[in-house]
Amino acid sequence: MTTPLNERRIANAIRVLAMDAVQQANSGHPGAPMGMADIADVVWREFFSHNPTNPQWLNRDRFVLSNGHGSMLQYALLHLTGYDLSLDDLKQFRQLHSKTPGHPELGYAPGIETTTGPLGQGIANAVGFALAEKTLAAQFNKENFDVVNHFTYVFLGDGCLMEGISHEACSLAGTLGLGKLVAYYDDNGISIDGEVEGWFSDDTDQRFKAYGWQVLHVDGHDQDAIRNATVEARQELNKPTLIVCKTVIGLGSPNKQGKESSHGAPLGTDEIALTRQALGWDTPAFEVPADIYDAWDAKEKGQQSELQWNALFAKYESQYPTEAAELLRRTHGDLPVNFVAQADEFITQTVAKAETIATRKASQNTLQAFGPLLPEFLGGSADLAGSNLTLWKGCEGVQNNPAGNYVYYGVREFGMTAIANGVALHGGFVPYVATFLMFMEYARNAVRMSALMKQRVIHVYTHDSIGLGEDGPTHQPIEQIASLRNTPNLNTWRPADTVETAVAWKSSLLRKDGPSALILSRQNLAFQTRTDAQIANIVKGGYVLAEEKGELQAIIIATGSEVDLAMQAYAQLEGVRVVSMPCAEEFMKQDAAYRESVLPAAIRARVAVEAAHVDYWWKFVGLDGQVIGMSTYGESAPAKALFEHFGITVEAIVNSVKTMTA
């Protein structure tokens, strides 16, 4: 150990704040903050470029605590360096409505860049941050004007590296040469169940070298070694760097350091007293000496860094006014001022064409129209671009051109989705990612995280039902749409034709407070004729597509490919209206009067039809209604045969309506 005593004392501020807050909450993880304190001290006080007085400074470095259970490490850092996070906030650790929840949560405390806790997703988000930085820099930087120029630092532990998503994301990071990504691996050999060597014996060094990373090794408590490794990492701009830091979990605790007992539980008052003595820390709980605060305070340094960047950007703005305005627009998350008008013009053209095509093709046509309008697009597919139809004529892969707008993610559904979350969090891009709907299951937790963090990520899912046919039950989604619809703050669109597809894209792009999922067909879907008023109502998520002939007696509700079945049934019935509901979430946001105008409460004879699990629709049809759909897995056969086999037919709809209205 070469760390001077005063440096260790500065780092000890993290240790004592972490153990005090966890003890007060009687819940939490003190071990990781205590073990990583020396690493955090070096990175945050010497390398991390940030401004605590303006946490949203455009060119700040990004920091991700992937092992988010050690959240008190990040809260202590934010407090000590001068963010608006007080001692009282630390005392409220893990309490209701506090700024310091159990895991870092986006939007609770300033300086938190992403929500972490589900292990492995933080490092994947960090890959997204680094990808966004590299691509944005390539698109906007000019000679002598590196206006986008920052690093992404990420802390991670054994759990992150065991999770499969780390393999997906880190493999791609190496392939893309994300040299401004620096990861510090807390190699303490301990997880909740004890010493990890019994279940985690990977050669992490060789694994990351095989990915194309630079790998360095240090004693995680030797600040000189950490400092030197960080300098070396920052100099290697063609490869991401993993710094393997050998640490002792819970360092400073005489009886619990190096043991799983310090991992996920308070140390206890007696042990904390012994730890204070061992650390030479003689102040009471939650008290930090003034000289320690002075050593940590980053406000003046951060303000100077931002002022220097502001001066650079002012010169850039003078010389490149168009690019400067565009960079600010994109990083503010605003779409181009003419986008809505041009999108509406495309929708009008789509109505005029009246094409009967698959909605995945309609989606590609929409991308072709919207793509040239939106330089912030950063699309991608999990090795299914030819099936998802996510490529448009202006796409260029970032693998070959860092200033491109498309990512070939390979077969990495989970990694792709979490990386896209990081891209959205970074700012400057609107990411869309795609796979088959069935394989959304691989990405499920990252989809949830995009909704939890309220990020504008567009999830494109094709091959939406048993209608994909011969691939059989392994590829035919049954319960996936209901799963997406049951995710809070996620808009799930299942359009019936070209017009609804274009409106779904427009709505998803305009939405700034959350993600959207577009559920698209493999097979051709019939074009539906609409009035101008009906077209205007598509954005409301549900609308009357066909008015009843005579007195209203029954309602048919349908989405996607089943809308045409409903319309064929409508032609055989009297007193029936057809409601197309491409996005139930948007429909439920409408006021009561509109919902009543579409689904009058007095009409209890209702049939919902969708080639997916039936359970979701009972809330719309009621116990007196009927749902035509799936309650089993699919089969392998042509689509027409499958719809007939499972009873999702015009005849079934007609018979259901007649039975209820008899």
Known catalytic residues are 413
Residues 6+ apart with CB under 8 A from 269: 23
445 is in an annotated binding site: no
Total Cβ atoms within 10 A of residue 526 = 17
178 is in an annotated binding site: no
Identity of the amino acid at 414: F
522 is in an annotated binding site: yes
Yes or no: say if 556 and 580 are a contact pair by the CB < 8 Å rule. Answer: no
Does 118 carry a binding-site annotation? yes
d(C-alpha 445, C-alpha 484), whole Å? 11
Q: Is 262 annotated as a binding residue?
A: no
188 annotated among ligand-binding-site residues: yes
Question: Has 463 been labeled as part of a binding site?
Answer: yes
Cβ neighbourhood burial of 274 (10 Å; 0-12, 13-18, 19+): middle
Q: Please name which of 301, 283, 253 lies closest in space to residue 44, comparing C-alpha atoms.
A: 301
CA distances from 243 to 129, 150, 209 (A): 18, 18, 12
Going by C-beta distance under 8 Å and a sequence separation of 6 or more, which residues neighbour residue 613? 478, 479, 481, 482, 629, 630, 631
Buried b / exposed e along 548-557 (16+ C-beta atoms within 10 A): beeeebbbbb
Q: E strand or H helix at 448, and its extent?
A: helix 440-452
Q: 573 vs 516, 525, 564, 598, 600, CA distance in Å? A: 35, 22, 14, 18, 19
**151 near 61, Cβ under 8 Å?**
yes
Q: Does the annotation list 93 as a binding residue?
A: no
Amino acid at 611: A
The 3-class SS string of 527-596 reads CCCCCHHHHHHHHHCCEEEECCCCCCCEEEEECCCHHHHHHHHHCCCCCEEEEECCCHHHHHHCCHHHHH
542 annotated to bind ligand: no
Pairing type for strands 458-462 and 491-493 reads: unpaired
Q: Is 119 annotated as a binding residue?
A: yes
Distance from the first to the final alpha carbon of the chain: 86
- Name residue, tokens 């070298």: 209
CB 295 within 8 A of CB 45: yes
Element of type H or E holding 431: strand 430-436
Asked if residue 60 belongs to a known ligand binding site, the reply is no
Do the annotations mark residue 117 as ligand-binding? yes
**Residue 96, annotated ligand binder?**
no
**Residue 486, Cβ density class (10 Å: 0-12 exposed, 13-18 middle, ≥19 buried):** exposed
Question: From the annotation, which residues make up the binding site for Mg(2+)?
Answer: 158, 188, 190
Question: From the annotation, which residues make up the binding site for substrate?
Answer: 29, 263, 360, 387, 463, 471, 475, 522
Question: From the annotation, which residues make up the binding site?
Answer: 29, 69, 117-119, 158-159, 188, 190, 263, 360, 387, 439, 463, 471, 475, 522
Question: From the annotation, which residues make up the binding site for thiamine diphosphate?
Answer: 69, 117-119, 159, 188, 263, 439
